[in-house]
Structure 1
Amino acid sequence: MRHTVTLVAVVLAVVFAGSAQAQVIDADNIIMRVRTVCNTGQGGTLIAAFDIRPLSNDWAPPYGRIGGFCSVFTFTSSKLVLQGVQQRYQTGYWGSPYRSEAFGPSAWLNMHAHTGNPNSALPVESTYFTPSLDCQGNPLNDKFYEIMRYTMNIMPTASGTVTLGLYDVRPYATIPYPTSGLVHMSAVFKADLGWNMNDSLQIVQGLVIPVELSAFNVTGRPDGSMLLGWHTATETSNLGFEIERGDGVNFEKVGFVPGHGTTTEEHTYTWVDENPVAANNENLVYYRLKQVDTDGTFAYSEIQSAEIQPSYIGLEQLYPSPVRVGTATNVPYTLAVPGTVHMYVFNAMGQRVATLSDGESHQPGRHVVAWDGRSDRGDILPAGMYFLRFTAGIGNGEEISANQQIALIR
Structure 2
Amino acid sequence: MKRILNVILAVLVFTFLSSVSKGQSEIEYEPGTDINVTTGADICADVVTINGTFSGDGTQCNSALPVELSSFSAIVKGDEVELNWQTATEVNNYGFEIERTSPRPSPQGEGGEAGRGWEKIGFVEGHGNSNSPKNYSFEDKSVESGKYSYRLKQIDNNGGFSYSQEVEVKVEAIPTEFALFQNYPNPFNPSTTIKFSLPETGYYSLKIFNTLGEEVAQLINGQLEGGNYRLPFDASKLASGVYIYNLKGNNVNLSMKMTLMK
Instruction: Give the alignment's TM-score, normalised by structure 2.
Output: 0.45
More strand per residue: 2
TM-score normalized with structure 1 length: 0.30
